[in-house]
Structure 1
Amino acid sequence: MIKASDLRQREIINIADGKRLGFINDLDIDVEEGRIRAIIVPAPVKIFSVFGKGGDYVIPWEKIKKIGSDVILIELSEFTEPKKGI
């Protein structure tokens, strides 16, 4: 069993392009079914984005390929820009 606090300490890496996305900030949980629907990773802050938040990467749980001791490997071949306002 893995605790949510343990997941937050593991870096997210997309194996499709090798991009390091950062660390889990939040989880999207389906309370009725009792399962995690997605992990949420804050997007990096851009240099000229002083007044606004960069958005979040919302990664569906099904895209997680492997949870290791220090990283979580995901596979997103068609990666979209972060969603703002989540």
Structure 2
Amino acid sequence: MRICDLKQKEVINICDCRRLGFVGDVDFDMETGCLLAIIVPGPGCFCGFLVREKEYIIPFCDIRQVGPDIILVNVDLEKATEKCGI
């Protein structure tokens, strides 16, 4: 599977059945080539000129299943790593 294939998949949290969005980027270890996390951009903000306010960094261990169209994750969003962007 290629990274561009992952970017076409929607991420859904099985804890609350919430749609988190589509994969925006991936984090991997340069030395081993192992996938460490997927990064899902947060919702856009109209007042912020459509700038993403946060993104969800979902560790590989929280990915439960990768299907043809969706990726199921098990993440507690209150404890999930959120990165603020300007």
Task: Report if TM-score (shorter chain) is over 0.5.
Answer: yes
Q: Which moved more, 1:39-48 or 1:56-65?
A: 39-48
What TM-score comes out, normalization by structure 2 length?
Answer: 0.84
RMSD: 1.9
Q: Which runs of 4+ in 1 moved over 2 A?
A: 46-53, 77-82
Uncovered stretches (5+) of structure 2, i.e. residues with no partner: none
Uncovered stretches (5+) of structure 1, i.e. residues with no partner: none
Trace 1:1-86 onto structure 2 (pairs within 5 A).
2-50=1-49, 53-79=52-78, 80=80, 82-85=82-85
* Secondary structure of 2:5's aligned partner: helix
What TM-score comes out, normalization by structure 1 length?
Answer: 0.84
Q: Which moved more, 1:51-60 or 1:13-22?
A: 51-60
- With over 3 angstroms needed to count, the CA separation of the structure-2 counterparts of 1:48 and 1:67, relative to structure 1, is same
Distance across 2 between alignment mates of 1:75 and 1:13: 9
Q: Deviations over 1:26-76 (max 9, x none)?
A: 111101121010101100023443485312110001100000000000001
Corresponding residue pairs, total: 84
- With over 3 angstroms needed to count, the CA separation of the structure-2 counterparts of 1:51 and 1:40, relative to structure 1, is closer
- With over 3 angstroms needed to count, the CA separation of the structure-2 counterparts of 1:33 and 1:78, relative to structure 1, is same
